[in-house]
Amino acid sequence: MTLAKGLGIYQQSSERSAARQLVEDHAPLVKKIALHMMARLPASVQLEDLMQAGMIGLLEAAQKYEANKGASFETYAGIRIRGAIVDEIRRGDWVPRSVHRNTRRIAQAIKAVEARTGEEARDADVAAELEMTLNEYHACLADSSGGRLFSLDELNESGEVPIDNEDAVSDAPYAELSEAGFRHSLAQAIDGLPEREKLVLSLYYQEELNLKEIGAVIGVSESRVSQIHSQAALRLKARLSDWQSS
């Protein structure tokens, strides 16, 4: 065996050992993220299924992580784990078409009200635009919340600009400019949300509180937090619809 070949084998073995250690050290992160995401999914979804998908994301993260890129492994792995779980949820889509249809209608109604008034669309405004009672509108929000996992990562994907897609290298010369433009628009849209919606998103995505904990912080029920979260998601989709149709 030549020295170069021996060094190559040793390096590969060392890299595999390091990746294995990363997976072992961060396995609890998979359960934490799965539990956090499961809080907004129907009871039929099994935690074990989400964790299995998340472990695949963790394994991929351990194999592809490059410390010199700047991000910590936990941050990088968290993105990969969430992405793998979202992919698994999409593959097993249980959402009735009526829920998808109502979700689109709500986003369109929010956009129409805000374009007409130049102000934030309130619950009552959107309900009136949809010719629904307030209770019917809130029921639609609950269906949207229970039937579809929303995340800022997923919103980015629906805008045709993935947050974390290192493997799919685009040949388009303006791909990076487009991504930067979308990120800027997304940041502006989030900053322009009503204060309560902005707070709910911050507590859920940045502080990683569950819906019950958020309800205790802002003084409303868990179901109301879910409605606020869904409305924030649909408001963002409405305000970023130009990116989604481009």
Is the fold of 3-91 the same as that of 97-245? no
Which tens digits make up the pLDDT trace of 109-163? 999 999 999 999 999 999 999 999 999 998 888 777 655 445 554 554 433 333 3
The domain locations on the chain are 3-91, 97-245
CB-based contacts of 124, cutoff 8 Å, min separation 6: 134
Q: Hey, what CATH topology would domain 3-91 get?
A: Rna Polymerase Sigma Factor; Chain: A (1.10.1740)
Which tens digits make up the pLDDT trace of 82-120? 888 888 877 766 566 777 788 889 989 999 999 999 999
| Residue 10 binned pLDDT confidence (cut-offs 50, 70, 90) | very low
DSSP 220: S
For residue 64, the model assigns a pLDDT of 86
Pick from 84, 61, 64: nearest CA to 74:
61
The larger pLDDT score, comparing residue 6 to residue 43, is at 43
The larger pLDDT score, comparing residue 176 to residue 211, is at 211
Q: Which amino acid is at 127?
A: A
CB 175, CB 161: distance < 8 Å: no
Pick from 112, 64, 61, 56: nearest CA to 85:
56
Distances 115 to 96, 223, 239 between C-alpha atoms, Å: 29, 29, 10
What pTM does this model have? 0.59
Q: Assign domain 97-245 to a CATH class.
A: mainly alpha
SS3 77: helix
**C-alpha to C-alpha distance for 235 and 38, rounded to whole angstroms:** 22
